[in-house]
């Protein structure tokens, strides 16, 4: 078979291990793999590159994606959909493996409904995709944020300050939640829970009096009422949050309310790159391998999902279009660590 592999949406660590896993498994079947360059855009421009053992052998520990990525949405326009389908045939592809988050897999779902032989591989540092327990990229992103947290706590203590760390995560609070618990933060703000300034100030000051500093984690998607909300939208209609500046705004308000010198740091894209953690290398490799097995099993319109310790094929329709947000039991757990 000739299998096309693409990576779409925001990059994250683990994409290269997934590409590598797919190519390694494809070799067992005697398949030919080609990389589709820059996500769905590559199927509009017909830009591909050969993917053989030499190309992927050394990429297990590399962040980002060797194929490049984009947030191109062919379903913005029906002629682009037709062009995508025509080009898959023109490139002689027997199947497409689409590695991406909700948007990329949303396109895969719609193409599968039109008869395209497509298999999904879930990824996102936000960990907000339904149908799978974890996505690769998340573990690496949180570990980078944990490293930043340790550094920020050192300087916060030295200067007797409050420091706010803003992390990514769009509209789900998983990255902030895990960073907050994992770093021992004194307070963590996630988009799923409205900000209660009185409770927050009380908690932060209790911790500050005990330790002579306080450390706060805030997710970029948190709504702080005083901020201007004029974000740009991407191809899929999502708000781009990079200009929202929730971290600096939370720091400004906290300083005003507590009278304590407060600083903020925004980790931004630093947490999206870098060598994948062991967890992301293994998960990426496993779902990449599974995707090729699914192609051979005829499991089109499905995605390789992590359920417990197993990687299984589930319908894409079970995963896309329903953001996996932080449920109440995790919010309750978070509260335990605010003392
Ligand atoms: O979805 C992954 C993500 O990193 C989000 O956490 C973040 O809001 C967004 O991508 C940033 O996108 P961009 O790279 O386009 O600025």
Strand partners, 302: 119, 315
Beta-carbon contacts of 198 under 8 Å, excluding residues fewer than 6 positions away, are none
Q: What is the largest CA-CA distance in the chain?
A: 67
C-beta of 171 in contact with ligand 1 (< 6 A):
no
Task: Give the residue, by CA position, lying nearest to ligand 1 atom 6.
Answer: 169
What residues contact 212, with CB distance under 8 A and at least 6 apart?
Answer: 157, 160
Ligand 1 atom closest to residue 125's alpha carbon, by position in its atom list: 2
Q: Which atom of ligand 1 is nearest to the CA of 234?
A: 15
Dist CA 211 CA 222 (whole Å): 26
Identify the DSSP state of 136: B
125 is in an annotated binding site: yes
| Per-residue pLDDT at 262 | 98
Q: Which of 126, 266, 267, 271 to mutate to test the pocket of ligand 1 (most atoms within 8 A of CB)?
A: 126
Between the alpha carbon of residue 160 and those of residues 123, 208, 254, 255, the distances in Å are 39, 8, 14, 13
Pocket test for ligand 1, best of 7, 8, 9, 10 (most atoms within 8 A of CB): 10
Count up the domains in the chain and report the number: 2
Residues 297 and 235 in one domain: no
Residues 265 and 305 placed together within one structural domain of the fold? no
In CATH, what number is assigned to the domain containing residue 237?
Answer: 3.40.50.460
With a cut of 70, list the residues of the chain below it in pLDDT: 226-231
Residue 69 has a pLDDT of 98
Range of the domain at 38: 2-136+276-318
- In-domain check, residue 169: yes
- Give distance in angstroms: CA of 313 to centre of ligand 1: 27
260 and 111 within one domain: no
Of the candidates 11, 31, 103, 126, the residue annotated as catalytic is 126
Identify whether residues 119 and 55 lie together within a single domain. yes
Per the listing, tokens 């708000």 go with 239
CA 242 to ligand 1 centroid distance, Å: 8
The Cα 304–Cα 318 span in angstroms is 12
> What's the pTM value of the predicted model, to 2 decimals?
0.96
Residue 339 belongs to a domain: no
Atom index in ligand 1 nearest the CA of residue 242 equals 16
Cα–Cα dist 230/239, whole Å: 9
| Helix, strand or coil, per DSSP, at residue 52 | coil
Q: For residue 6, what are the β-bridge partners?
A: 36, 98
- Does any domain span residue 334? no
Neighbours of 46 (CB within 10 A): 14
> Does residue 28 carry a catalytic annotation?
no
- Residue 62: the pLDDT is 98
Q: Is the CB of 126 under 6 A from ligand 1?
A: yes
Structure token pair of residue 121: 């591989």
- Tell me how many degrees the CA angle 284-288-290 measures, rounded to the nearest 5: 120
**For residues 295 and 94, what is the distance between their CA atoms, to the nearest angstrom?**
9
């Amino acid at each position: 078979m000739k299998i096309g592999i693409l990576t779409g949406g925001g990059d994250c660590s683990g994409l290269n291990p997934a590409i590598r896993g797919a190519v390694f498994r494809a070799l067992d079947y005697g398949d030919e793999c080609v990389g589709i360059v820059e996500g769905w855009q590559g199927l509009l421009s017909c830009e591909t590159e050969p993917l053989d053992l030499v190309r992927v052998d050394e990429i297990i520990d590399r962040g980002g994606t060797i194929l490049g990525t984009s947030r191109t949405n062919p379903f913005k326009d029906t002629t682009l959909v037709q062009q995508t389908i025509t080009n898959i045939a023109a490139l002689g592809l027997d199947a497409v493996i689409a590695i991406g988050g909700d948007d990329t897999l949303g396109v895969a779902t719609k193409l599968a409904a039109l008869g395209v032989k497509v298999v999904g591989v879930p990824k996102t540092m936000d960990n907000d995709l339904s149908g799978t327990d974890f996505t690769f990229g998340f573990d690496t992103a949180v570990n980078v944020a944990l490293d930043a947290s340790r550094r920020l706590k050192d300087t916060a203590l030295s200067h007797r300050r409050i420091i706010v760390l803003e992390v990514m995560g769009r509209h789900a609070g998983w990255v902030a939640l895990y960073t907050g618990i994992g770093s021992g933060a004194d307070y963590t703000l996630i988009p799923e829970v409205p900000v209660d300034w009185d409770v927050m100030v009380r908690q932060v000051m209790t911790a500050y009096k005990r330790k002579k500093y306080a450390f706060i984690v805030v997710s970029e998607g948190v709504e702080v009422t005083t901020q201007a909300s004029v974000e740009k939208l991407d191809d899929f209609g999502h708000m781009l949050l990079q200009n929202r500046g929730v971290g600096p705004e939370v720091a400004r308000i906290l300083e005003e309310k507590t009278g304590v010198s407060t600083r903020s740091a925004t980790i931004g894209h630093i947490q999206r790159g870098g060598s994948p953690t062991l967890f992301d290398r293994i998960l990426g490799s496993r779902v990449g391998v599974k995707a090729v097995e699914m192609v051979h099993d005829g499991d089109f319109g499905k995605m390789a999902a992590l359920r417990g310790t197993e990687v299984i094929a589930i319908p894409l329709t079970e995963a896309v279009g329903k953001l996996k947000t932080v449920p109440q039991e995790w919010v309750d757990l978070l509260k335990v660590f605010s003392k």
